[in-house]
Amino acid sequence: MHITGDRNQFAQNLFTTLPERYDVLAEVLSMGQNRQWRRAMVDRIVPSSPRSVLDVACGTAGVTVQLARRTTADVVGVDLTEGMLARGQRNVDGAGLGNRTQLVVGRAEQLPFADDAFDALTFTYLLRYVDDPQATLVELARVVRPGGVMASLEFFVPPNSFWRAWWWLYTRFVLPIGGWLTGGRQWFRVGRFLGPNISAHYRKYPLPWTIDAWRQAGFENVGVRVMSLGGGLVMWGNRRSE
């Protein structure tokens, strides 16, 4: 399955029907790795003791809730899909964090916030759903104060050929079938889409390109952690002071 037309619209269509079971199935289909990856990303934010954090592509607010729990910051989550945000609001309220957490509809490519508005920013599984990753990174940088930290989580393709072969089999066969058995037709659709989409993204935007794109967007001290034999990628950096 390929993305055609506007990638924002594609993402909305893909995720609109998924919110109610998204959190459980994301863990099942990632073999429990999604939770570890999220924590590793948030680990890069916590030491900076931010007063305000923006969580972009927040989905059902899993990272948003973790940021609010592990820091004293006011946290804003932004996502394209209203259904995911509605589920996210229930997660926020259930965690008792509504007083420090706000969820809003918005696009990563055109954030509804002022320059330098946040001490820190996270984004999760975002860059495959935007038409111009470089321009999107520039827009994310715009709302982070100079010296502030940004961290991200994305799927990755294992660099080791042995593990890459197993990853290919898992994403092309096990993941779609597992999605069908645990979540029905919509999760089969997601499972069938993910592997080819991840591969295509890194053919066009390999890791060295991504690191350079962060630097071109205005970040320094850019770090990378490849996780779970190459299935996940956590990145971080600090916005340069002008």
> Quick one: pLDDT at residue 19?
46
- Determine, yes or no, domain membership for 150: yes
Overall number of domains in the chain: 1
Burial 52-61 (b: 16+ CB within 10 A, else e): bbbbbbbbbb
Question: What is the CB-side half-sphere exposure of residue 106 using CA atoms within 13 A?
Answer: 20
Return left, alpha or beta for 233; rule: phi > 0 is left, psi -120 to 50 is alpha, else beta: beta
Question: Do the domain assignments include residue 151?
Answer: yes
pTM of the model: 0.87
Q: Which residues pair with 76 in a beta bridge?
A: 54, 102
Q: Domain range holding 139?
A: 7-156+205-239
Is residue 177, in this structure, part of any structural domain at all? no
Query: For residue 2, what pLDDT is reported?
Result: 38
1 falls within a domain:
no
The overall longest dimension of the chain from CA atoms, in Å, is: 52
| Cα dihedral sign, 102-104-107-111 | negative
CATH of the domain at 133: 3.40.50.150
Report yes or no on 196 lying in a domain.
Answer: no
How high is the pLDDT of residue 174? 75
The answer to the question of residue 195 being in a domain is no
Run means of pLDDT, 10 residues per run, the chain, 242 residues = 47 49 60 87 98 96 96 97 90 96 96 98 95 97 98 94 89 73 66 81 97 98 95 96 80
- Per the listing, tokens 């982070």 go with 144
Residue 162, in any domain of the structure: no
Residue 228 domain-assigned (yes or no) = yes
